[in-house]
Chains A and B, each alone.
Chain A
């Protein structure tokens, strides 16, 4: 019930392509869905986040699409760049951010 499933485990995209990472959850108590980006040797950092009353949020080349009825959300990276190569974690929180659940992560490689 507390799990967040994430796919794919790894992703290779050509420069300029679109990267898509998908996540799914079960617990309807989740009320905040962030994506974190992690570069090697660094801690994760918040990339973009969405609340369940919104179906889409866009910040620059990064877009979250949220489907409440299907309990799924996804990250789209448009015009992917080699600098986007990192591990991406979807997450879900409830109880005003007191509890976080993270997906297993997707390692993205963007080829030049």
Chain B
């Protein structure tokens, strides 16, 4: 089954404790991206990657890091989480050469205390 898999589904942490949210896709998509969803603000792009070793900032990249060492994986790293990073996070992938349809994961609800 074609899917984007995020882990964990829920995460509670404390300020300053480094964490990683993993994302993996099995569709051989070149493009992967991370979004955060906040009430009244919709989905805002954090980082995106057009291919292996190619990443770029989205609209709200501050406080986040990403890496793309393999085509299927695109982890999101919060090196020093702060309470304003409490949000619902989504990973997505697509194959821009085919169409612009984004496939989303099921989301990671992060709470930073």
Interface size class of B (residues with CB under 8 A): 20 to 34
Q: Which of B44, B97, B99, B107 contacts A102 (CB 8 A)?
A: B44
* Cβ contact within 8 Å between A93 and B90: no
Stretch at the interface among A36-44, A52-60, A61-69, A75-83: A36-44
Quote the shortest CB–CB distance from A50 to chain B (angstroms). Answer: 12
By a beta-carbon cutoff of 8 Å, the part of chain B in contact with chain A is: 4, 31, 33, 35, 40-45, 48, 50, 58-59, 90, 92, 94, 96-97, 99-102, 104-107
Question: Which residues of chain B come closer than 8 Å to A43, judged between CB atoms?
Answer: 4, 90, 92, 104-107
Sample 14 A-B pairs with CB under 8 A, ordered by A number. Answer: A34-B102, A42-B107, A44-B104, A49-B101, A89-B43, A96-B96, A96-B100, A97-B31, A98-B31, A98-B48, A99-B48, A102-B35, A102-B42, A102-B43
3 smallest CB-CB distances across A and B, nearest first, come from A97-B100, A43-B104, A102-B43
In angstroms, Cα B31 to Cα A88, docked, is 23
Q: Across the two chains, which residue of chain A brings its CB closest to B95?
A: A97
Quote the shortest CB–CB distance from B71 to chain A (angstroms). Answer: 16
By a beta-carbon cutoff of 8 Å, the part of chain A in contact with chain B is: 2, 6, 9, 32, 34, 36, 41-46, 49, 89, 91, 93, 96-105
Quote the shortest CB–CB distance from B83 to chain A (angstroms). Answer: 22
